[in-house]
Amino acid sequence: MKNTDLDLLSTNGLTLREIEGLLEAALRFKRGDDVSRPLAGRSVALVFFNPSLRTRASMQVGIYELGGNAVVLEPGGTSWTLEHRVGAVMDSDKTEHVAEFVRVLERYCVAIGVRTFAALKNWEEERTDPILNAFAQYASVPIINLESAMHHPCQSLADMLTIREKLGTSRKRVVLTWAWHPKPLPMAVPNSFALAAAQMGHDLVIAHPPGYDLDDELIENLGPNVEITNDVDAAFTGADVIYAKSWGSKQFYGNTDQDIATRAQYRSKWIVDEEKMSRTNSGVFMHCLPVRRNVIVTDAVLDSPASVVIDEAENRLHVQKAILARLLGG
């Protein structure tokens, strides 16, 4: 039986000490104090069902810098279309089952990273991360979540490193704010950011319009230091960190047109602009990227000294090296 502690599917289950250990290790890589090559002579598979710039490039570079080789596969593109359902009768468009895909791949590779977004069709199903969990179920090597329907732990750990670098180790008022976007997006980034910020002990504020609540179970797991509000103006006041992200409504899941019609009223109210930022505690602006300029955030904020999005993206590299070294370095 596989030791599931070897997977990184979310930060759920990581202790504060373990998270801090990863952040310290990431800083050692970033400063050049750790130039070890624990992946020398070994390969790591990176499976992308969806497009990516940061995750793909930073994982490939990180694996290279640790001495290893990245094998990048895109099911339905550079590898066969994949089925994940148990008992599926594969007489349609899916050529290979995850059961074979994973067990073949692990004969070549010491870990598998997987990116598989939500399809935004069936909330009850997608909130269980079925594709990611199928990989974890069949694999005997570590599975690293490179963003699934519900979680993006590599992003949130880089976010926590960025907050620590910019603002120090003390508790901060950290605001996760919904922003308007022309279409509904998955909840992985806001879920993982909220979870990691709570795990780090920050005072977390989640601001979103009515009807855009995150997953109930996730919210329950955040503990007592979380405030949820529909008042975006109040949320920004005194904030040390503004983390903007758009996401879709659970109640309109699978009904894109209804979500788009409902969110239209929030377009101008929920953009991150200079006026809102002026009410923060000289707060930093964060976003996982890619970001739509003058939709999620104005040029004036994104191009201001308060914006730390490029450093945040760089930290993906250092944190992922720390994750790979922790999972595969022993």
Residues that bind ligand CP (CB under 6 A): 52-55, 147, 155, 288-290
Alpha-carbon distance 137 to 98, whole Å? 10
Residue 22 Cβ, how far from ligand CP at the closest point, in Å? 17
Residue 313 Cβ, how far from ligand CP at the closest point, in Å? 7
Rank residues 147 and 259 by Cβ distance to ligand CP and give the closer one.
147
Residue 55 Cβ, how far from ligand CP at the closest point, in Å? 3
Rank residues 83 and 313 by Cβ distance to ligand CP and give the closer one.
313
Alpha-carbon distance 117 to 131, whole Å? 9
Rank residues 178 and 252 by Cβ distance to ligand CP and give the closer one.
178
Residue 170 Cβ, how far from ligand CP at the closest point, in Å? 26
Phi and psi, residue 102, nearest 5°: -70, -45
Residue 244 Cβ, how far from ligand CP at the closest point, in Å? 13
Task: Name 92's Cβ contacts closer than 8 Å, sequence gap at least 6.
Answer: none
CB 98 within 8 A of CB 83: yes
Alpha-carbon distance 138 to 47, whole Å? 15
Rank residues 55 and 262 by Cβ distance to ligand CP and give the closer one.
55
* Torsion of Cα atoms, 113 then 222 then 279 then 249, to 10°: 70
Rank residues 74 and 96 by Cβ distance to ligand CP and give the closer one.
74
Question: C-alpha distances in angstroms, 318 versus 30, 51, 264, 312?
Answer: 6, 21, 38, 10
